[in-house]
């Protein structure tokens, strides 16, 4: 299993486990709420609610 670190879920306030190799800008799914969270800092690890999908997103 990949190494994990602990971070605070900004929505529920719970401590959650996320992959240890995340980097700024990455999106993780919260195991507590299922919400998408954005990694805004890695030292210290800080998560925010990810932006909603917008119409012009894609490839």
Footprint of another protein (CB under 8 A): 23-27, 38, 50-51, 54-59
- For residue 44, CA distances in Å to 24, 47, 54 come to 11, 10, 29
Q: Which is nearer to another protein, 14 or 19 (CB)?
A: 19
Residue with tokens 């894609």: 58
Q: Please name which of 43, 33, 27, 42 lies closest in space to residue 10, comparing C-alpha atoms.
A: 33
Shortest distance in whole angstroms from residue 49 CB to another protein: 13
Q: Which is nearer to another protein, 8 or 26 (CB)?
A: 26
Q: Which is nearer to another protein, 14 or 20 (CB)?
A: 20
């Amino acid at each position: 299993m990949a190494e994990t670190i602990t971070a605070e879920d900004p929505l529920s306030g719970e401590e959650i486990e996320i992959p240890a190799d995340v980097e700024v800008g990455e999106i993780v799914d919260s195991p507590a709420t299922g919400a998408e969270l954005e990694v805004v800092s890695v030292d210290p690890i800080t998560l925010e609610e990810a932006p909603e999908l917008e119409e012009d997103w894609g490839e």
